[in-house]
Amino acid sequence: MFRFLPFLFLSSFAFAATSGPLLNYGRDVSTEHRTLLNNDIALLNAWPLQTQIEQDFYQVTDVVGPVSSGVDLLRWLGERISIVTGEGFDLNKNIYTERAKYDFQLPGILPDLSARMTRSAPAQTKMSVVMANMGPVVYYLSKSQGKLFGVDLAGIGKIPVSTPRVGLLQIGPGLFPALKEGKLTDLDVSLSRLFTLFHEARHSDGRGAAMGMMHIYCPVGHAYAGYPACDFSLNGAYSVEGQIAKVMTENCSKCTVAQKEKLRLSYLDSFSRVVKEKRKISQETENAQREACAKLADYPVKVPMCEELKERDLNPPVIPRAPFLDSRPEGVREKRKGFFERLF
């Protein structure tokens, strides 16, 4: 049996029209959910972009500029996602072996799941999976075993996963919540789902050790400490989600003041999940320690914490800084077999 728990690093979390369809749906996706997602895509397709887009946006997202409308963003999205399955989809029951042997790009080079950052005690925050990108999950399993796996989807057929960009998304329980305020068709709610699609689309990118642009556990001191809901990169899924959300919020002429503020808080939350450096202790904690040691300086006693700070000043540690990951895609999309081809 396959085990998929480590690939929480590829999920989106939430706390309490084109020439053809962008998304294809498995049979387990309800008509209501299909309609909502299709309306979200249509909203993006008609989205105006009138404000000047900053250079950081292009550097983080890899969107080839200049971006003048939502159509440009939709094109980027369509390169990375294409299939949606329902909340009850069981990957264990639908994965199959397409080829017993397969030549992968960058053989043997995979993300180091053990290096995602040490897990700490979970924060007292209820969290819900919004959506998950299953393409990198299956591709990782394929490459690690030297076999080409695929996924058999009811209503779609067999899909060989020869690249993370197969674009297979699974709806989570947090994508269509039973909202106490507002409705699933409200503009800000629709935009939030779009931001999630961009987040998940980013997980289709990356090669070698950066394949899947995986999350890390948020460090001690972070609001979401202990959950795999942060990035140690400057161009990961949370950075992309934040940049897209910021641009679309600033160009939302039909949003109310309250909706804009809600969306602004959302993209600020995304940016807060980008861990820019790995410290033994947070900068805030170190500052507090230094302040305490300054008050103890006149006392003839050696405090281990203060001695450690002195040693750190004499031999400053190397603090790893968040990089820009190699976001180029890995793998080549295999042609899906037609019905008659599969008979022979």
Residues 180 and 290 in one domain: no
Q: Find the length of the chain.
A: 344
CA distance 344 to 339: 10
Non-local (6+) Cβ contacts of 240 within 8 A are: 60, 61, 198, 199, 201, 202
Inter-residue contact 134 to 165 (CB < 8 Å): no
Of residues 208, 224, 230, 243, the one with CA closest to residue 327: 208
Please say whether the beta carbons of 217 and 118 come within 8 A. Answer: yes
The average pLDDT across 35-46 equals: 96
**Residue 261 belongs to what H/E stretch?**
helix 257-272
Better-predicted residue by pLDDT, 64 or 19:
64
Q: Of 6-10, 98-102, 318-322, where does the model show the most confidence?
A: 98-102
* Residue 296 and residue 158 share a domain: no
The answer on 186 and 43 residing in a single domain is: yes
* Number of structural domains the chain divides into: 2
Strand order through the sheet with 168-171: 11-15, 127-133, 168-171, 83-85, 24-25
Give the residues across from 126 on adjacent strands: none
- Domain identity same for 164 and 294: no
Average pLDDT over residues 229-244: 97
State how far the Cα of 70 lies from the Cα of 187, in Å rounded to an integer: 15
- Is 6 in a helix, a strand, or coil? helix
Contact 208/106 with Cβ under 8 angstroms? yes
239: which DSSP letter?
H
Residue 343 lies in a domain: no
342 belongs to a structural domain: no
Return the residue matching tokens 């993006």: 44
> Based on the domain organization, do 123 and 165 belong to the same domain?
yes
Query: Which of the two residues, 295 and 275, has the higher pLDDT score?
Result: 275
Provide the edge-to-edge strand list for the sheet that holds 157-160.
95-99, 148-153, 157-160
Name the band, by pLDDT with cuts 50, 70 and 90, for residue 333. confident
The model's pLDDT over 130-167, given as tens digits with 9 standing for 90+, comes to 999 999 999 999 999 999 999 999 999 999 999 999 99
Place of tokens 């072996």: 97
Range of the domain at 20: 5-278+320-335
Considering the chain, what is the average pLDDT of its residues? Answer: 87
Shared domain for 237 and 294, answered yes or no, is no
In this prediction, residue 17 has a pLDDT band, given cuts at 50, 70 and 90, of very low
Query: Range with the lowest mean pLDDT among 10-14, 201-205, 275-279, 307-311?
Result: 10-14
pLDDT class of 123 with cuts at 50, 70, 90: very low
Tell me the average pLDDT across 214-238. Answer: 93
Percent of the chain whose predicted confidence (pLDDT) is above 70: 86
